[in-house]
Structure 1
Amino acid sequence: MSLTFTLDPAVTPELRDGILDLWTDVSNAGGSVGFVPPVDRDAIRPELVKHLAAMAEGRTRLLVGHDTDGAVAATAFLTLNTHRLMVHWLWLYTVMVHPRHQGRGYGRDLLAAAADAARTLDGIEAVRLTCRGGVGLERFYASCGYKEVGRIPAAIRVAHGDDRDDIIMLLSLD
């Protein structure tokens, strides 16, 4: 079984709810996607609305992976850099694979599909993302071709007394 990836799908209520459910499930499973468990859909909804607004403005592109049942199983948001001196790279945000699908190589598939999507965009030479330290994500991204290019110590406060590094990773598309 593999995922079917679509760049810029139509945002239907079903897709919106599928992303919201995915984000909630990933967060509650301990995923590093901007929230700390426990979290519910109502807490995540405002962040999703921001992503959808950026899509409507043409600043962000959505890559979604559906499983064989048609459920939203993975996402990544490709956000164009608007700074005139940095338009040659984009940000990759909210990279998620549903917990029930983890361990099957779908994360690698998602990152490969995101890189392929970035290559279709005029002038994009690199993909940049950040990840939370302390959970091994930098090793996973490195195994997918990303290089650590920066680290801000203790930039992410997960809980009182639990600060994590914000790790900056870059994938050259050349």
Structure 2
Amino acid sequence: MSLTFTLDPAVTPALRDGLLDLWTDVSNAGGAVGFVPPVTREAVRPALVKHFAAMAEGQTRLLVGHDEAGEVAATAFFTFNTHHLMTHWVWLYTVMVHPRHQGKGYGRDLLTAAERAARAFDGIDAIRLSCRGGLGLERFYGSCGYKEVGRIPDAIRVAPGDDRDDVIMLLPLD
């Protein structure tokens, strides 16, 4: 079984709800996607609405993976740079695979689909992302071809006394 990926799907109530459920479930399973458990759908909703607003403005694009049951199982958001000296690379944000699908290779499939999509974007030479240190994410992204190009120590405060590095990763598309 594999996921079916769609770039720029129509934003329907079902997709919105699937994304909210995914983001909430990933966060509550300890995923490093902007929240710390426990989190509710209502806490996640404003962040998703910001992504949708950026999509409507043309600054962000959505890649979503559906499982064999048609449920939202994975996602990533591309954000384009507005600074004229940085328009040759894109950010990859909110990279998620539902906890029930982890360990099946879907994370690697998601990053492969993201790379394929980015290669089709006009003038894009690289994908940049950042991840929370202390979880081994940089090893995973490294195994997918990303290189660590920067690290800001203690930039992410997960909880009082629990600061993590912000690790910057880059995938050249040449």
Please tell me the TM-score bracket, short chain as reference. over 0.9
Q: Which residues of structure 2 form unaligned runs of 5+?
A: none
CA distance in 1, matches of 2:81, 2:98: 27
Per-residue CA deviation, residues 37-76 of structure 1 (Å, 9 max, x unaligned), is 0000000000000000000000000000000000000000
Paired positions, count: 174
In the other structure, the counterpart of 1:158 is 158
Calculate the TM-score normalised by the size of structure 1: 1.00
Per-residue CA deviation, residues 92-142 of structure 1 (Å, 9 max, x unaligned), is 000000000000000000000001000110000000000000000000000
Per-residue CA deviation, residues 125-170 of structure 1 (Å, 9 max, x unaligned), is 0000000000000000000000000000000000000000000000
For the aligned residue pairs, the C-alpha RMSD in angstroms reads 0.3
Where does structure 1 differ by over 2 angstroms across 4 or more consecutive aligned residues? none
SS at match of 1:63: strand
In the other structure, the counterpart of 1:92 is 92
CA distance in 2, matches of 1:96, 1:19: 10
CA distance in 1, matches of 2:12, 2:28: 24
Q: What amino acid sits opposite 2:76 in the alignment?
A: A
Q: What amino acid sits opposite 2:119 in the alignment?
A: R
Q: What amino acid sits opposite 2:109 in the alignment?
A: D
Q: What amino acid sits opposite 1:75 in the alignment?
A: T
Q: Output aligned runs, 1:29-40, within 5 Å.
A: 29-40=29-40
CA distance in 1, matches of 2:78, 2:39: 24
CA distance in 1, matches of 2:106, 2:113: 10
Q: What amino acid sits opposite 2:11 in the alignment?
A: V
CA distance in 1, matches of 2:170, 2:108: 15
Q: Which residues of structure 1 form unaligned runs of 5+?
A: none
In the other structure, the counterpart of 1:9 is 9
CA distance in 2, matches of 1:76, 1:156: 20
CA distance in 2, matches of 1:71, 1:82: 33
Identity of aligned residues (%): 82
